[in-house]
Structure 1
Amino acid sequence: MNIIGTTTAALLIATFTMTAAAQTTVSPNGRLKVTVNATDNSYSNVSMDIECNGQTLVNVPEVGMETDRQRFCGNLRLKHSERKKTINENYTMLTGKRSRCRNKGSEQTYTFENNEGHIMHVKLRVYNDGVAFKYILNTENNEKITGEYTTYCLPENTKRWMQKYEENYENFFPLTSTGVHPDNPKTDRWGYPALAEPANGLFTLFTESGIRRGHCGSLLYNAGNRNCYRVTFADKAMISDGKWESPWRVIIAGKLSDIVESTLVTDVADPTRMTDTGWIKPGTAAWIYWAHNHGSRDFKTVKEYIDLAETMKWPYNLIDAEWDEMKNGGDINDALKYSAAKNVRSMIWYNSGTAWCGNGAPGPIYRLNKKEDRLKEYKWLHDNNVAGVKIDFFSGDHASTMGYCIDLLEDAADFNLMVNFHGATIPRGWQRTYPHLMSVEGVYGAEWYNNLPVMTNRAACHNATLPFTRNVVGPMDYTPGTFSDSQHPHITSHGHELALTILYESALQHMPDRPETYYNMPEQVKKLLGSLPTAWDDTRLLGGYPGVEAVIARRKGKIWYIAGINGTDKPRTLQIDTKALHTTGKSITVIKDGADNRSFDIEENIPLTKTNRNIKTDCLPRGGFVAVIK
């Protein structure tokens, strides 16, 4: 069912059907328009065009699904379309880039009939910041959903930032305009999220949301035509037990600020059914692994990080892998008692038992796989006042893995345990459905300074790409704030590294450096790190471009925290334009690069007036800054 090579024919069909029947759905602000090209008098192809401000951003030359008993593509006629309706919903988030979200869009459902009389529905929503659609099929028990025809086609020479598909989503997002990976030319499988600039200053970001039990994840495949990407299942098939709905196919679209500030991934996700959420507390955690690979084996070293959390006023400490082998004066029970005495709550690491289980895999292993074992372990954690779990090494995007993740989340809620997934898939809206999902790795983060030397020369550009790609779709456990060196050195500045703690959103923000590194920071830096929020009331993009620079403002209460980084190897001046933040009469403190990349320059309490609200900050190569307005 390789349809990439048929794109030219599909475009011809799309042109014909557009003249026969074309229906449009427009965003509430009128900027985005989706045209569905279909005909109601013959069986043919169905396509879509997505426009922003009159410019075509994406052509979807083929839509449709296939099962082992039905086929819906190239053989469809429009049976009817429901009257357009308005989606207008307000909801709150305990974590993420915005605490109060507004889900407003235009919805239309199309009913298509294939040439055998079978029915497929397509539910389409057009928002001010993007487009989402899903397929709904009437199926029989045990019918296999075997494939999807959705294909996204970009104009030639479109700039795009996409990562080679890996099951753990740990890769760079290199810039290309050809659809060919610059480091791996044979790559034709790409992971979400995928960012493109189809028109000057207008962007699209492709991802998915609303993964439910029985769903596998998907990826993008562009063999045959490098500018066209087909949605491809991670599994060969999904089993249906009756009416089947796909995950939402999500295209965030507009200016870069629309991309970065969007909550579309959670807008279309299933609302939470949890009513008791008072125990969910975002916060900062001390983290032992980055500086000490096997540190959690050593009771005395674990104590040092508990002391660090207490000193820095961080609520959490993560006890990482191999804690079941802890020695040197105490075991895990002693560590938990010590943590309680210091008024620091522990998070504890587990191996998922699905991907890396042998050949030296760290433990504990297999304690969470079976429900009866999981409930026993979760009860022990709850009884010992453990705050949550970090679960690692998942086996990709398979439906079985997705179901296992849902099991882990649902049972954790019963024991008031927060969850952090590592070595796992990216967020696909679960942070709304399960608000105790605090963070997910799925990113090439600071851990890689420990593993391989690949980050040293590429980190700055990579770091300036992540705010426009991976972190758009949900929390990202990058583990920012590495000021010293791990196994391999970094050449970003202290200002750059400090900025990442604000630039990157993660409801559990793990601080990875050694205790003495934080103790030796300037007092203003220690004070900032000790009081830093990890869940936000608002987020604004103030400036930037992928791989070049990023300046983001995040608000908690009445205080704005602003972070900016230089992703280039040359000095660069970044601007803090505070006009949109309504800060007249307030003051700003700026912590920026000092004389060298291992020092800070700090300017405190600069008044903000109507004539002094655009602050320019000079950054070193690979530099950065943090500013606080209050």
Structure 2
Amino acid sequence: MNLLRKTWGIVIAVIISSCHSATFDTISPDGTLKVGVVTTKDGDYGKAAFVVHYKGDSILFRSELGLETDAQKFAGNLRLKSVSEPKSVIDDYRMITGKRSHCVNEASERVYSLENDEGQTLEVTFRVYNDGIAFKYGLKAISDEEHIINEYTAYALPQGSKRWIQQYDPGYEKFFPLSTDGKLANRPEVDLWGYPALIEPRDSVFVLITEANIRRGHCGSFLYNGDNRDNYQVRLGDKKLAFSGVWESPWRLLIAGSLADITESTLVTDVSDPSKVEDTEWIKPGMVSWIYWAYNHGSQDYQIVKEYIDLAVKMKWPYDLIDWEWDVMRNGGNIQDAVKYALSQGVKPLVWYNSSTNWIGPGPLFRLNKKADREKEYKWLSDMGVAGIKVDFFSGDSVSTMNYYIDLLEDAVKYKLMLNFHGATIPRGWQRTYPHMMSVEGVYGAEWYNNTPVLTNRAAEHNATLPFTRNVVGPMDYTPGTFSDSQHPHITSYGHELALPIIFESALQHMPDRPSVYYDMPEPVKKLLSDLPAAWDDTKLLTGYPGMEVVMARRKGDVWYIAGINGTNEPRTLCFSLKDLSVAGKKITLFEDGTDDRSFAIEENLPLSEDEMTLEIKCLPRGGFVAVIK
């Protein structure tokens, strides 16, 4: 092996010439994570792969790299041409929304140049952070218009690894069932899977697979394991991606470490483009009263719409969402009357729209698809005083759909409209690039109590899985806090339901229940719901395991909100330490399960001493609690 160092501008590369396999490692700043890129085969050319080590032990095996266009192929015919010297990359930025207001992360970055047997070059940039790994492809076109037709990235898991992955669904509304064989118990033929995918390759060591920084011209992707159940290959949402000049893929992400490392990570936004919005004063997270859950067609009725505006007033929530079918509102008023009434009460209205790309059902329809129509609608809304819109029923992860999301976001800035996407793909970092993207559904949420009976018996386990899967990657509009029943009952406790608006992060937190239910809550519960923030300065996982339990602490200012849930059907004691929160000498108010699942046990303003930093909270089956420390 001959190693020759050459300087290309400011890039120092290691030039490799060998007929044997070669490995050059990229190591996280703290030395915890290590990635090696390997080429193997007898002779100069072969497959290119990467291996991942955590604290010295392998957690991902030889995971293939590669890409193919209609003019160039980089798969099975590659050798490592050069490797840049490591450089430090530091992410330091502020967020208006999310799990942390000040995000700081550091990585070591290297660029691996892979050459195929035609002399063409594919660059793979790896960044290794203390809490994960990001990599992306870079490719120069050799024709005026070229098309990406395949990506060969494949994540190779140790056999028998525990995994929590949802079956791929364009709206990302599925459960995350535990598996050790890469199959669904009731549907073994399923082989397409959506992000994020949580893996436990070793005891107490986890990897969350996802992607980030979708730009205009990108499609989303998902995972396929039909050929090998422990090998998850990246499949693109479009069969052909046109490009010219230089093309870069989105970042492929592996968040890695303990469950605390997973849940507290901001890696999805760390690698995403900085904010494109200069004036952000109009972007305000907050609680929202929401009409749909209890009254499916309620936005047709002006009088019911007013009841939810009045609810926002009494609960001191800043927003009210007027949902689908407002374009046929009757019974004493129309949408203009409803907006005017909300504003007169000091409540900012949000308004629902159909994306008109997937289900051409309830209206209003076709008002946002073309730029001229969209700008006209945005101006009308802004002039009326509407603060934001919810856009629903998108059509998957294609380039055209991704471009439509970006069109909606970019045109909304001029009119100072916040956006919430429903029936939509999962967040992939746009919450940083477009900070007025406040929330995304992309989850099997409480709305499903209105659709089928399935959620009733699975909700507790599902709710205790989401903090380690879907909600890690960005805001999640689950619509938590369903104390009463709609078409199908809930069997989670009141304590469990009260915990969800804290455990689940969403910059617009939609409260779905009937006004009378909130009015009948004990006064301390009403005050808690009135005071709840919807964006946080810090987030910490205090304890948990997917599907079993979770205790999450979130801080706003100098107040810590702690919430925990039992995901099992048996009584459970949640044990956790407050030591890392620095709360000795402060006072704690506890909202625990009462004598039955429809009551609370409340203790207020209890002093916390230095020797009381470990709490044990007894929960009912499917129970939960909230603690406020200030």
In structure 1, C-alpha distance between the alignment counterparts of 2:358 and 2:91, rounded to whole Å: 39
CA contact (8 A) 1:492 1:622 kept: yes
Aligned to 1:337: 340
Q: Does 1:172 align with 2:171?
A: no
Residue 302 (structure 1) aligned to one of 283, 305, 313: 305
In structure 2, C-alpha distance between the alignment counterparts of 1:513 and 1:62, rounded to whole Å: 48
Aligned to 2:204: 201
Residue 282 (structure 2) aligned to one of 248, 258, 279: 279
Q: Does 1:366 align with 2:366?
A: yes
The alpha-carbon deviation at position 122 of structure 1 amounts to: 0.4
Aligned to 1:489: 489
In structure 1, C-alpha distance between the alignment counterparts of 2:401 and 2:63, rounded to whole Å: 31
For residues 223 and 39 of structure 1, do their structure 2 counterparts lie closer, same or farther at Cα, with a shift above 3 Å needed?
A: closer
Residue 356 of structure 2 aligns to a residue in which SS?
A: coil
Residue 115 (structure 1) aligned to one of 117, 125, 142: 117
Residue 260 (structure 2) aligned to one of 257, 261, 265: 257
The alpha-carbon deviation at position 610 of structure 1 amounts to: 1.4
Q: Give a deviation string over 1:241-260, Cα, whole Å, max 9, x none.
A: 22100010000000000000
Instruction: Tell me the TM-score normalized by structure 1.
Output: 0.96
The number of residue pairs the alignment matches comes to 611
Residue 482 of structure 1 aligns to a residue in which SS?
A: coil
Residue 86 (structure 1) aligned to one of 73, 85, 88: 88
Q: Give a deviation string over 1:16-59, Cα, whole Å, max 9, x none.
A: x9963111111111111101113798122111110111121112
Aligned to 1:3: none
The alpha-carbon deviation at position 273 of structure 1 amounts to: 2.1
Q: Give a deviation string over 1:87-115, Cα, whole Å, max 9, x none.
A: 11310100000000012110000111111
Aligned to 1:5: none
Aligned to 1:129: 131
Q: Give a deviation string over 1:542-568, Cα, whole Å, max 9, x none.
A: 000000000000000000000000000
In structure 2, C-alpha distance between the alignment counterparts of 1:55 and 1:292, rounded to whole Å: 53
In structure 1, C-alpha distance between the alignment counterparts of 2:573 and 2:604, rounded to whole Å: 19
Aligned to 1:587: 587
The alpha-carbon deviation at position 487 of structure 1 amounts to: 0.6
Aligned to 1:71: 73
In structure 2, C-alpha distance between the alignment counterparts of 1:497 and 1:141, rounded to whole Å: 56
The alpha-carbon deviation at position 142 of structure 1 amounts to: 2.0
Q: Does 1:289 align with 2:292?
A: yes
In structure 2, C-alpha distance between the alignment counterparts of 1:39 and 1:566, rounded to whole Å: 47
Aligned to 2:153: 150
Q: Which runs of 5+ in 1 are unaligned?
A: 1-16
CA contact (8 A) 2:22 2:80 kept: no
Q: Does 1:32 align with 2:33?
A: yes
Q: Give a deviation string over 1:377-400, Cα, whole Å, max 9, x none.
A: 000010011010000000000000
Q: Give a deviation string over 1:285-338, Cα, whole Å, max 9, x none.
A: 000000000000000000000000000000000000000000001000110111
Q: Give a deviation string over 1:457-493, Cα, whole Å, max 9, x none.
A: 0000000000000000000000001000011000000
CA contact (8 A) 2:463 2:567 kept: yes
Residue 221 (structure 1) aligned to one of 224, 227, 232: 224
Aligned to 1:570: 570
Aligned to 2:12: none
Q: Any residues of structure 2 matched to 1:54-65 within 5 Å, and which?
A: 54-65=56-67
| Matched letter for residue 24 of structure 1 | D
Residue 234 of structure 2 aligns to a residue in which SS?
A: strand
Residue 159 (structure 1) aligned to one of 148, 158, 162: 162
Q: Does 1:185 align with 2:166?
A: no
Q: Any residues of structure 2 matched to 1:226-237 within 5 Å, and which?
A: 226-237=229-240
In structure 2, C-alpha distance between the alignment counterparts of 1:219 and 1:73, rounded to whole Å: 19
Measured on the aligned residues, the alpha-carbon RMSD in Å equals 1.1
Residue 355 of structure 1 aligns to a residue in which SS?
A: coil
Aligned to 1:12: none
CA contact (8 A) 1:55 1:199 kept: no
CA contact (8 A) 2:264 2:541 kept: yes
In structure 2, C-alpha distance between the alignment counterparts of 1:314 and 1:123, rounded to whole Å: 45
Aligned to 1:506: 506
The alpha-carbon deviation at position 519 of structure 1 amounts to: 0.3
| Matched letter for residue 493 of structure 2 | S
In structure 1, C-alpha distance between the alignment counterparts of 2:19 and 2:568, rounded to whole Å: 45
Aligned to 1:543: 543
| Matched letter for residue 567 of structure 1 | G
In structure 2, C-alpha distance between the alignment counterparts of 1:171 and 1:557, rounded to whole Å: 35
In structure 2, C-alpha distance between the alignment counterparts of 1:118 and 1:162, rounded to whole Å: 36
CA contact (8 A) 1:60 1:150 kept: no
Residue 372 of structure 2 aligns to a residue in which SS?
A: helix
Instruction: Tell me the TM-score normalized by structure 2.
Output: 0.96
Q: Give a deviation string over 1:576-629, Cα, whole Å, max 9, x none.
A: 411010111111111010000000000111211111111111000000000001
Q: Does 1:51 align with 2:61?
A: no
CA contact (8 A) 1:18 1:37 kept: no
Residue 310 of structure 2 aligns to a residue in which SS?
A: helix
In structure 2, C-alpha distance between the alignment counterparts of 1:395 and 1:166, rounded to whole Å: 10
Residue 280 of structure 2 aligns to a residue in which SS?
A: coil
Residue 521 of structure 2 aligns to a residue in which SS?
A: coil
Tell me which moved more, 70-79 or 307-316. Answer: 70-79
Residue 580 of structure 1 aligns to a residue in which SS?
A: helix
| Matched letter for residue 556 of structure 1 | K
CA contact (8 A) 2:419 2:438 kept: yes
User: Which runs of at least 4 in structure 1 moved beyond 6 Å after TM superposition?
Assistant: none
**What percentage of aligned pairs have identical amino acids?**
62
Aligned to 1:448: 448
